[in-house]
């Protein structure tokens, strides 16, 4: 869509699918398909599902719900991407590979080809006394690679949830030429109100690009209660689209000219003191 000769389209619509996730995996997959179709009908060229869209979020659930890639869940995503002619960022699923488990996001292009696979690099291990203790590393292993993919619009970088706390990762994506970063995530009722929007704005402002976060809808009865509030922030650091915690689809129009305008007005990229400091991708050395 919208690729005019060698000219890249300068604007496009994305959809953040804040879906309700239950303990019933086949029902989750069906729901995801339906909502992706709705998002495409709403004009989105890039659609993202939330973290752990096929399983409840929790270390006890990961081994039970994990599957290989390709597998039943990614087959559903592949079909949904091709049928709706969209780029589909498959939130994340618990992945099993060679006896190890990962929290993994796969991306399909408009013909249903898998073009990217990101394993959460930074595991969510925290201890906030009296509030929340969580240790993803009890059952998961971290991924080792950065993940960005090309579209006819712009390059898009992927992180999963806790990855958003690591400013260096976003900086590297920006350095690679990404103009949009997508973070499927599931913050909680402690860190959500405190940090979700702030981190989304911080990564956008630091790097002068668009950032969007995609949460599952809140289920008050779940063991882990998600914050919701799927949000998009402009390269100026402004929240341009958001929602509360119920199931919904958030649509966002991305204007790539705005990225260039803001970078022209406040030219951080050329003002960086590369002679004095550096953020480096060590996976390439
Ligand atoms: N669930 C996560 O990975 C991250 C999170 O909730 C937080 O950083 O806070």
- The average pLDDT across 52-56 equals 98
pLDDT band at 144 (very low <50, low <70, confident <90, very high): very high
Place of tokens 């939130």: 91
- H helix and E strand count, the chain: 8, 15
Residue 3 reports pLDDT greater than 50: no
From the CB of 52, is ligand 1 less than 6 Å away?
no
113 is catalytic: no
Tell me which of 25, 78, 117, 120 is the catalytic residue: 120
Residue 84 reports pLDDT greater than 90: yes
From the CB of 161, is ligand 1 less than 6 Å away?
yes
3-state DSSP assignment of residue 183: strand
pLDDT band at 157 (very low <50, low <70, confident <90, very high): very high
CA atoms within 13 A on the CB side of 268: 16
Dump the DSSP string for 235-248.
TTS-EEE---SSSE
In 144-196, which ranges are continuous DSSP H helix?
Answer: 167-175, 191
For the chain, domain boundaries: 12-284
Residue 8 reports pLDDT greater than 60: yes
Q: What is the pLDDT of residues 245-269, one digit of tens each?
A: 999 999 999 999 999 999 999 999 9
Candidates 162, 183, 186, 197: which one to mutate for ligand 1, based on the most atoms within 8 Å of Cβ? 162
Peptide bond into 70 cis (omega under 30): yes
Distance (angstroms) between ligand 1 centre and the Cα of 265 equals 33
From the CB of 191, is ligand 1 less than 6 Å away?
yes
The per-residue pLDDT of the chain, averaged, comes to 96
Q: What is the pLDDT of residues 195-249, one digit of tens each?
A: 999 999 999 999 999 999 999 999 999 999 999 999 999 999 999 999 999 999 9
Residue 28 burial (CB count, 10 A): 25
161 is catalytic: yes
- The average pLDDT across 169-196 equals 98
pTM, 2 dp: 0.96
- CA–CA separation, 154 vs 36, rounded Å? 21
Q: What is the dihedral of CA 177, 180, 182, 187, to 10 degrees?
A: 110
Question: What pLDDT does residue 150 have?
Answer: 98
Calculate Rg over the CA atoms of the chain. 18
Q: How far apart are the first and last CA of the chain?
A: 36
Question: What pLDDT does residue 233 have?
Answer: 99
- The average pLDDT across 150-176 equals 98
Q: Which two tokens stand for residue 92?
A: 């994340």
Answer whether 13's CB lies under 8 Å from 247's CB: no
From the CB of 182, is ligand 1 less than 6 Å away?
no
- CA–CA separation, 188 vs 193, rounded Å? 8
- The average pLDDT across 38-48 equals 98
pLDDT band at 2 (very low <50, low <70, confident <90, very high): very low
List all residues 6 or more positions away from 101 whose beta carbon is below 8 Å from its beta carbon.
62, 63, 66, 94, 95, 139, 140, 141
Q: Which two tokens stand for residue 230?
A: 């799927």
Question: Of all helices (H) and strands (E), which one includes residue 256?
Answer: helix 256-265
Question: What pLDDT does residue 202 have?
Answer: 98
- CA–CA separation, 225 vs 228, rounded Å? 9
Distance (angstroms) between ligand 1 centre and the Cα of 192 equals 8
List all residues 6 or more positions away from 230 whose beta carbon is below 8 Å from its beta carbon.
16, 18, 50, 212, 213, 214, 215, 242, 243, 248, 250
The CATH number given to 12-284 is 3.60.110.10
51 is catalytic: yes
- The average pLDDT across 55-69 equals 97
């Amino acid at each position: 869509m919208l690729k005019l000769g060698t000219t890249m389209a300068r604007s496009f619509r994305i959809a953040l699918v804040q879906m309700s996730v239950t303990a019933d995996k086949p029902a989750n997959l069906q729901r995801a398909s339906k909502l992706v179709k709705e998002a495409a009908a709403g004009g989105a060229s890039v659609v993202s599902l939330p973290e752990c869209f096929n399983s409840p979020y929790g270390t006890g659930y990961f081994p039970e719900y994990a599957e290989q890639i390709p597998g039943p869940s990614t087959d559903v995503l592949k079909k949904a991407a091709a049928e709706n002619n969209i780029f589909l960022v498959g939130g994340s699923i618990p992945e099993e590979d060679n006896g190890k488990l990962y929290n993994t996001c796969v991306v399909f292009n408009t013909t249903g080809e898998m073009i990217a696979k990101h394993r959460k690099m930074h595991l969510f291990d925290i201890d906030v006394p009296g509030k929340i203790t969580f240790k993803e590393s009890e059952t998961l292993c971290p991924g080792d690679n950065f993940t960005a993919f090309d579209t006819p619009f712009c390059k898009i970088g992927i992180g999963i949830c806790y990855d958003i706390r690591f400013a260096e990762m976003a900086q590297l994506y920006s350095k690679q030429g990404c103009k949009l970063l997508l973070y499927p995530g599931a913050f909680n009722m402690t860190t959500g109100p405190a940090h979700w929007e702030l981190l989304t704005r911080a990564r956008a402002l630091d790097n002068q690009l668009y950032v969007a976060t995609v949460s599952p809808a809140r289920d008050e009865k779940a063991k882990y209660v998600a914050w919701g509030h799927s949000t998009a922030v402009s390269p100026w650091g402004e929240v341009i689209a958001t929602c509360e915690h119920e199931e919904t689809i958030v649509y966002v129009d991305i204007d790539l000219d705005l990225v260039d305008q803001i970078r022209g007005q406040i030219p951080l990229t050329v003002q960086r003191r590369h002679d004095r400091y550096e953020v480096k991708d060590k996976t390439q050395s």
